[in-house]
Copies of this chain bind each other. A is one copy, B any other.
Amino acid sequence: MSFDGQLPPKTRLLRAAAELLANSGGAAVSTRQITQLAGVTAPTLYHHFGDKEGLFDAVVAAGFEEYVAGERDFAPSGHPLEDIRRMWDNHVQFGLNQPELYLVMFGNIRPESRPAIVADAEALMEEMLNKAAVAGQLNVQPREAARSILAANVGVTLMLIAETAAERNLELSTMTRDAMIFAVSADQASGTPEDSGKSSVVVAAIALNAALQASHSDQLSSSELKLFLEWLHRISNSSTS
């Protein structure tokens, strides 16, 4: 029941903290519980991690790598928007599998402390959306799309975590997911008055922009490129009233 094996104390502390965090059921986890389970005394913890939060950050970082690994496994299907869907589902599943870890990562966000991890997740999704943009499937800038989709993804996951496993309805996830993806995708019926109806030149501009940034083309001088990109940006944002 303890981690008294021959592993180094640092690893034992990490595993003990992860296990207690996962099984605490929302209750607070004390450093004494952790050090006792790890078979170690208090100063060892502070020698290696400086802080209780330092330890938790390390656990979160490990959890995040696991999350990222899961996201990357799905990469190359040829249909970027389909991949986004799978990223979404993987995100939700990760949150439901490790709710405590997820809440530490995405729920307890404070203005100055945590957004590094969120930024990483954002970058991951933006990267995927970039492929969609290059393929001319995007309605808006990849960065804006990524932020928007991720925000909805987090919100849905938090709501599902808050529900008991019995009444949990994953349709909420798929419905919101498809709504968000549809909203940023280019293949909408044109002529809709409210939100879609972006002219195809906007889609083309976004695609060109993404392609340019990906290829590091040096057909234009850097100053020319800068101006050119600015124009593209203006075109592709022309629909925001």
Interface majority SS on A: helix, strand, loop or mixed?
helix
Contact call B187/A189, Cβ cutoff below 8 A: no
Give the CA-CA distance A184 to B180 in the complex, in Å: 11
Given contacts A109-B161, A113-B26, contact A179 B178 (CB under 8 A): no
Given contacts A111-B26, A154-B158, A155-B158, contact A183 B179 (CB under 8 A): yes
A159 part of interface (Cβ distance < 8 Å) = yes
Measured between beta carbons, the chain B residues less than 8 angstroms from A106 are: 158
Give the CA-CA distance A31 to B111 in the complex, in Å: 23
Contact with B along A127-157 (1 / 0, CB 8 A): 0000000000000100010011011111110
Measured between beta carbons, the chain B residues less than 8 angstroms from A172 are: 144, 147-148, 151
Closest residue of B by beta carbon distance from A176: B148
Identical copies in the complex: 2
Contact call A195/B179, Cβ cutoff below 8 A: yes
Contact call A115/B162, Cβ cutoff below 8 A: yes
Contact with B along A104-117 (1 / 0, CB 8 A): 00111111111100
A164 part of interface (Cβ distance < 8 Å) = yes
Q: Give residues 180-203 of A contacting B (CB, 8 Å).
A: 180, 182-185, 187-196
Contact call B99/A111, Cβ cutoff below 8 A: yes
Given contacts A159-B151, A162-B115, contact A171 B108 (CB under 8 A): no
Contact call A26/B155, Cβ cutoff below 8 A: no
